[in-house]
Chain A
Amino acid sequence: MKYQTVIGLEVHLQLNTKTKAFCGCSTDFGKAPNSNVCPVCLGFPGSLPVYNRQALNSAIRLALAFNCQIQEHTKFDRKNYFYPDLPKNYQISQFDLPLSRNGYLDIYVQGSPKRIGITRVHLEEDAGKLIHEAEVSLVDFNRTGIPLLEIVSEPDLNSPQEAFDYLTSLKSIIEYLDVSDCDMEKGSLRCDANISLRLFGAKELGVKTELKNMNSFKGVKDALTFEVERQTQLLELNQALVQDTRLWDDQKGVTVAMRTKEGAKDYRYFPDPDLTVFIIEQSTVAQIKTLLPELPQVKLQRFIKDYGLTEYDAKILVSSKNNAEFSESCIQDYPGQDKKEMVNWLIGPLLSEANTRKVELYELNSIKNELINLIGFVKNQEISNLSAKNVLSRLIDTGKSARELIQGGGLQQISNIDALNQVIEAVIQENVKSVNDFKAGKSNALMYLVGQVMKKSSGKANPKVVGELIKERLA
């Protein structure tokens, strides 16, 4: 590969506050047009903004989770431009003293961590929605004024896959902090990308293309993949690239140039005189930091280390904050020395039950104690593994205790040697070929014979004991 891909992502995130950034209108999605509005978010003459305390708190938490430095003196600036979805014809945003800067996020590229710089996380307000018809455009201001965070990455991403991974990492942290719905379909997370190509080893960045209109993480990846192709082809043909903005067409799988706009925009930023400065003291930041939950990447590494999990298994448990908390609580409450016994049950049978029932793992948390009991019964051989899986299912359905279900269903494992020998004799008689195979040294044959005994005993035979007995018998 001759060319290095350089990608930077700009994410706009709607915060999940109850009310808007600068007024008390609801942020509920999907309401009738122009029903969540007031003089402030409509920009009526004489209206004034007052910033949402919860939004500021969420923003600081997220900035800290991205390892950013919080600006001690921060302020809002007006970004001036005309558009019908912007009622004041300026957006309240931040320019030279953004809330936070110089953070990072780690992604994993082929198992190794790669640090992606986060240039800044700053505060702004959302605009309204436009519906374009033939002769007119219609404006709905419900969305105007919803608090946004703009998260800008350094151009440290070098492939569409890395961009995808960055977005999934970002999303998982956001979910852990519960500061946004993060739903690209509802528009609570939007992403624009900047991409350029340069020869490997070159110091200067290539000509930048801005990509917009991607509606999913996959869309971002596909759009970037397309662009790499497109730009590579042009560069190979020695054709000059023009700095422009392109829209991703998901249906056709291509990017299309927007009609080129006149020159660079002059937003005439200046400090918004209607809002005060914000002084965010070190002590406040420190306090907020202590209240942050353990973040997903840290939790993942800790699960791997403390519980001896593989990355694959750990990722499943850590997938959401709730799942992680539930899993950890199960693991910690499990009395056995070897925590892996519990982990196997979580990522095996319990996850399977959750998937069948189309719920999250943590939603099964009510059976935690009985699960622990059940595992105990399997360990001391009162019930076979196979039976236990059935019991688990019934545990979830009935809410009864494990002991009740085992005794009630007569599911106790048969370990009685005489009883087992009877079944074993029957199986040996019926499976002459397998017996001969076993004697000939094929160890699979043993498993087969054990399986037949399990089948004949409706899964209640103690497989370990059966195995030993068969070996003795056929010795």
Chain B
Amino acid sequence: MSIDKETIKHVAHLARIELQPNELDKLSGELHEILGFIDKLSNLNVDQVKPASHILPISNVLRDDQPHLSLSLNKALENAPSKKGNFFSVPKIIE
């Protein structure tokens, strides 16, 4: 399985990472190698195997509908790179 540059660009967009052209080149080579190695998985017949999306045999973990102490406004906004009043602030969103 190969991964072409267009696909990498598309994937980088999905992941919201801007790649420089030299990064794109390098990544292309590296991913090609890694995916080639990963391809050995296709040798296995897994038709009858259940996927292990959870490794622990536990289920139905729930919590009661009871309130806890929320964060103070100070603490919530303390690390914010940009804020305005009680809000987190981000640059304008252009659809």
Contact = CB atoms under 8 A, between A and B. Distances in A.
Q: Answer yes or no: A and B touching, Cβ < 8 Å.
A: yes
B55 to A, nearest CB: 9
A25 interface: yes
Interface of A: 17-19, 23-26, 32-39, 42, 50-56, 75, 82, 84, 130-141, 258-259, 261, 266, 268, 270-271, 273, 275-279
A137 B89 contact: yes
A139 B14 contact: no
A137 B66 contact: no
Given A18-B66, A258-B95, A279 B60 contact: yes
B43 interface: no
B62 interface: yes
11 contacts: A19-B65, A24-B63, A50-B63, A52-B62, A84-B93, A132-B92, A136-B92, A137-B89, A138-B84, A140-B87, A276-B58
A135 B63 contact: no
Interface string B70-95: 11010011000010111111111101
Contacts, number: 120
Contact of B91 (A52, A135, A140, A258): A135
A137 B65 contact: no
A273 B92 CA distance: 33
Contact of B92 (A26, A135, A141, A278): A135
Contacts of A259: 95
B68 A38 contact: yes
Contact of A18 (B67, B69, B73): B67
B23 interface: no
Given A38-B68, A273-B53, A277-B54, A53 B63 contact: yes
B67 A24 contact: yes
A19 B67 CA distance: 6
Is chain A's interface secondary structure helix, strand, loop, or mixed overall?
A: loop
A277 B62 CA distance: 11
B87 A139 contact: yes
Output the residue of B59, B62, B68 with the most chain A CB within 10 A: B62
B37 to A, nearest CB: 22
Nearest to A36: B70
B88 A139 contact: yes
Contact of B84 (A19, A54, A136): A136
A278 B86 contact: no
Q: Which 8 A-B pairs have the closest CB atoms?
A: A24-B68, A138-B87, A54-B65, A271-B53, A53-B62, A33-B86, A139-B88, A50-B63
Contacts of B76: 34, 37, 42, 141
A3 to B, nearest CB: 31
Output the residue of A26, A36, A75, A136 with the most chain B CB within 10 A: A136
Interface of B: 14, 16, 53-54, 56, 58-71, 73, 76-77, 82, 84-93, 95
Contact of B54 (A38, A82, A135, A276): A276
Contacts of A273: 53-54
Given A82-B16, A84-B90, A138-B84, A18 B65 contact: yes
Contacts of B88: 34, 84, 138-139, 141
Contact of A26 (B59, B70, B90): B70
B2 to A, nearest CB: 20
Nearest to B65: A54
Given A18-B67, A34-B77, A278-B59, 13 more contacts: A26-B70, A34-B76, A35-B86, A50-B61, A50-B63, A53-B63, A53-B64, A84-B88, A132-B92, A135-B91, A135-B92, A141-B88, A276-B58
Nearest to A259: B95
B62 A279 contact: no
Contacts of A131: 87
Contact of B59 (A25, A141, A261, A276): A276
Nearest to B95: A259
B89 to A, nearest CB: 5
A471 B70 CA distance: 80
A52 B63 CA distance: 5
B21 to A, nearest CB: 22
Given A18-B66, A266-B14, A33 B87 contact: yes
Given A32-B86, A34-B76, A276-B61, A134 B95 contact: no
Contacts of A32: 73, 86
Contact of B68 (A25, A130, A258, A277): A25
B61 A137 contact: no
Given A139-B87, A139-B90, A37 B16 contact: no
A129 to B, nearest CB: 10
